[in-house]
Amino acid sequence: MDLFEAIEKRFSNRKFLEKQISDEGLSKILKAGMQAPVGRGKYEDMHITVIQNKDLLDEISSLADRSVFYNAPTLVIISARDDGHGLDKENSACVAMNTLLAATALGLGSIYLNLVIGLIKEHKEVLNKLNLPKEFIPIVGVGLGYADGSHFKEHSIEIDYM
Ligand SMILES: Cc1cc2nc3c(=O)[nH]c(=O)nc-3n(C[C@H](O)[C@H](O)[C@H](O)COP(=O)(O)O)c2cc1C
């Protein structure tokens, strides 16, 4: 699938099948994440956590009374260390976006997740289980897995040409 097709097919998947993604697919997706642009080229200020452990996923799931990652069998947490330039959110979003498109290109479902991050940060016992390096803060979650159907919607954003 070429890039434009992946962009056209990507959607936020909120219904995952139980089937886990392959290690090979995961590795391609993570590599795509690492190829994202990062402000000042400070890749050492970024960290990726892959959660596939069912017990930990269930524990995170149980933190809220509504679904925050839709039972995605793979939950990727992108964390960053703010070096004073305030680029941690932008950098994490860039990394996340590459993973979403790579997942789509591999025929997988994916979703950008914000709510799950707030929950993890509120629950220190879960945050500690991520074992993040010192000063790193979780910024973006990405859910990955096989989608149960497509929910693609076309969007538009107003453009001014000057
Ligand atoms: C910064 C950001 C935060 C988001 N957080 C969540 C979230 O916590 N839960 C969720 O279900 N979707 C979340 N989304 C997905 C958006 O709702 C979704 O991208 C948007 O509605 C457009 O739909 P589409 O991705 O299917 O094209 C988030 C997207 C972005 C970019």
| 55 has pLDDT over 90 | yes
Residue ranges and CATH numbers for the domains of the chain are: 3-145 (3.40.109.10)
For residue 160, which phi and psi values (nearest 5 degrees)?
-105, 130
Q: Are 26 and 143 a contacting pair, CB within 8 Å?
A: no
Q: Contact, 25 vs 156, CB < 8 A?
A: no
The protein residue whose alpha carbon is closest to atom 20 in ligand 1 is: 12
Q: What does pLDDT average to over the chain?
A: 97
Residue 2: both structure tokens together: 């070429």
Tell me which of 114, 119, 142 to substitute to probe ligand 1's pocket, judged by most ligand atoms within 8 Å of the beta carbon. Answer: 114
More confident residue, 1 or 143: 143
pLDDT at 83: 79
Which residue's alpha carbon is nearest to atom 29 within ligand 1?
112
DSSP class of residue 16 equals: B
Confidence of residue 4 (pLDDT cuts 50, 70, 90): very high
Strands 46-51, 137-145: parallel, antiparallel or unpaired by DSSP? unpaired
